[in-house]
Structure 1
Amino acid sequence: MDDALQIPHLRATADLELRPWSLAAADLELVREASADDLIPITTVPATFSREAATRFVERQWQRATDRTGYPMVIVRRRDNTPLGSIGLWLKDIDEGRASLGYWVVRSARGHGVAAHALAAMAIWALEELHIPRLQLYVEPWNRASIRTAEKAGFECEGLLRSWQKVGNQRRDMFMYARLATRTLTEADRVS
């Protein structure tokens, strides 16, 4: 059997880092804040927080590495070790030369470029170190902040996928964004 994926520590900026999930109180508190956030509905974050549900959430993240289906990470502010959000690289379609990314940042950390810096760092790592030819992500059309995040991190919109994903009890449209390995990386791609 293959070994589990090794989740790295990635520096996104001088003050932001991506790291593996843990059962530390700060990571469980991040899950608590995300559980109460109505803008984080399409993830596996528990809708109702409990320590048990948060623990199961973190254990699911670990299982993704064990199953070799993805690299789930916490976005952390380094100066005070505060978790701000989550980002993941998902390998469901890796045999086709593509991987998906997903991210969320809790309300208390929004508006500071945290998601864009984390997304750019994860994309550069996936393209340069893992040599994945195509990265893609999906954004609901109403989510202007996430659209700006994707574009700031070097992703380009490729089109609207109608009724693409079920969110709650509804099918939702999604914009597909992609970033290709064939595109030359510049300093601007690393988000300033």
Structure 2
Amino acid sequence: MLPEREPTLRGQGLVLRRPTHDDAALVRAAGTDAYITSVTTVPPAPATDAEVVAYIARQHSRLRSGQGVQLVIEDESSGGAVGQIGLMVKDAHRAAIGYWVDPGARRRGYAGRAVRVLSDWALDLPGLHRREASVEPWNDASMRAVGGAGFVREGVAANWEMVSGQPRDMVIYARVPGVRGDLGTRG
């Protein structure tokens, strides 16, 4: 289902590309956000050079191991890296989208646009029938991002994911070919 190499995707004023060591400043900025470090493997601030290098290496290893693909979100006009987005394989027909945006780059629509670009690309992956996202019920910005990218809200799953060692409820969204609308009607 996954490509052999990380793709470079363009659209919505963004470039989604392979992480490089030039993204160390982005990783360090993300490490200042306690929520990002609680739900990802981004090293918390102050991260050492070795921790940042190891984080970037882990992103590359996900594709080689068949776990998924991780890409940096870059603003096309400025060339600045603003976040990261990934498609993680759940099983042979299902993958989950996850993302984070640098705290200094939020509220500019980067997450929603990146989700749209990556999920549009994922529609063409052979055998992948379901793209999903899980969002904590308090996270209105993420719910707007995935909803605006064509994901349908399916409901709340109790104790769906572990966050900081605690089970958390998650609002489940899916983007499935042929399904539209907030109630998942076939269209």
Is TM-score (shorter-chain normalized) higher than 0.5?
Answer: yes
What is the deviation of 1:169? Answer: 2.7
- Picking from 14, 17, 20, the partner of 2:15 is 17
How far is 1:69 from its partner?
A: 1.4
Shift of the 163–157 alpha-carbon distance from structure 1 to 2, 3 Å rule, reads: same
Q: Extract unaligned runs of 5+ from structure 1.
A: 185-192
Partner of 1:189: none
Give the distance between the partners of 1:130 and 1:121, measured in 2 at CA.
17
Distance 1:8 1:57 in 2: 19
Query: 1:35·1:47 contact (CA, 8 Å) conserved in 2?
Result: yes
1:12-37, CA deviations, whole angstroms, 9 ceiling, x for partnerless residues? 22x3110011111xx10000000001
Q: Is the 8 A contact 1:5 1:68 kept in 2?
A: no
1:106 shift after superposition: 1.1
Residues 108-140 of structure 1 deviation map (CA, whole Å, 9 limit, x = unaligned):
111111110100010010013545211011100
Q: Which is strand-richer, 1 or 2?
A: 2
The answer for the alignment partner of 1:44 in structure 2 is 41
Is structure 2 residue 21 aligned with structure 1 residue 7? no
For 1:99 and 1:46, the matched residues in 2 are separated by: 24
| Partner Cα distance (1:72, 1:165) in 2 | 20
Q: Closer, same or farther in 2 for the Cα pair 1:124/1:130, shift >3 Å?
A: farther
Count of residues paired in the alignment:
177
Q: CA RMSD in A?
A: 1.7
Q: 2:152 aligns with which of 153, 156, 159?
A: 156
8 Å Cα contact 2:71-2:86 kept in structure 1: yes
TM-score by length of 2: 0.89
Aligned to 2:63: 65
Q: TM-score, normalised by structure 1?
A: 0.87
Percent identity (aligned)? 37
Structure 2: 5+ residue stretches without partners = 181-187
Q: Alignment partner for residue 165 of structure 1, among 146, 161, 167? A: 161
Out of 86, 101, 118, the position equivalent to 2:84 is 86
Structure 1 residue 65 displacement after superposition: 1.2
**Deviation of residue 5 (structure 1)?**
2.8
C-alpha change, 1:131 and 1:4, in structure 2 (3 Å) is: closer
1:119 aligns with 2:115: yes
Aligned equivalents of 1:81, 1:28: Cα separation in 2? 15
Instruction: Specify the alignment match of 1:103 in structure 2.
Output: 99
CA distance in 2, matches of 1:5, 1:170: 35
